[in-house]
Amino acid sequence: MTVDAFRASLSAPAPPVSLAVPLQALWWDGKGDWARAHGLVNDLDSSEGMAVHAYLHRKEGAEWNANYWYSRAGRSFHRPALEAEWEALVAGLLQAE
């Protein structure tokens, strides 16, 4: 799947069943359901899940919490624009599948 196909799938009522949990969270975030996205990664103990968790807290405006999760994910860099970070996370996770 490409980022464009992922973005197009946002018109569906639910994410594609084959998506890994971090991608499902980004899908729900793309639909505007931050709480559902956060619920999916809140207890996820993988670097991918923690990176998405960090992004979600950054989007929420909780920079201190985002920085905590970026550190747990082993990342010290994020893109300045939230949309660019969302797209980079989607692209990276799709490539890893």
47-60 and 63-72 are packed helices; what angle lies between their axes, rounded to 10 degrees?
170
Report the amino acid identity of residue 78.
H
Whole-number pLDDT of residue 36 = 98
Q: What is the pTM for the complete model shown?
A: 0.95
Give the model confidence (pLDDT) of 26-71 as tens digits: 999 999 999 999 999 999 999 999 999 999 999 999 999 999 999 9
Q: What is the dihedral of CA 47, 53, 55, 58, to 10 degrees?
A: -130
- pLDDT at position 75 is 85
- Each residue of 60-81: pLDDT tens digit? 999 999 999 999 999 877 788 9
Asked whether residue 89 carries a pLDDT value surpassing 90, the answer given is: yes
C-alpha torsion 53→51→48→23, nearest 10? 60
15 and 86 Cβ atoms separated by less than 8 Å? no
Q: What pLDDT is recorded for position 97?
A: 82
11 vs 7: CA distance, rounded Å: 8
